[in-house]
Amino acid sequence: MTRGNQRDLARDKAAKKASDLQKSKSAAEKEGNKGLSLEARKQRDADLMREKQKLKDLKAAEAAAKK
């Protein structure tokens, strides 16, 4: 006999369980943050936000200049 969709259901359940485990990790345990202190993470994130804001301001200035 065949197993029907039991294998697919088990695969979906395992994927959901794995994603729930990823969500429950603290910030220090996540891949992108391993080895960084809290202050280093804050500094990195602040630098990224400043860069994004600078690019947004440049695009807004270009759009205003074209009008």
Given a cut of 50, the residues of the chain with pLDDT beneath it are none
Q: Which residue has the tokens 């440049």?
A: 58
pLDDT of residue 2: 63
pLDDT of residue 60: 96
Domain coordinates in residue numbering, the chain: 37-67
Q: Distance of CA 36 to CAs 6, 12, 65, Å?
A: 42, 33, 41
- Distance in Å from the first CA to the final CA of the chain: 71
Rounded-to-integer distance, Cα 10 and Cα 20, Å: 15
Over the Cα atoms of the chain, what is R_g?
22
Where are the extended beta strands (E) located within 1-67?
none
pTM, 2 dp: 0.56
> 24-40, pLDDT tens digit by residue?
888 777 778 888 899 99
pLDDT of residue 17: 94
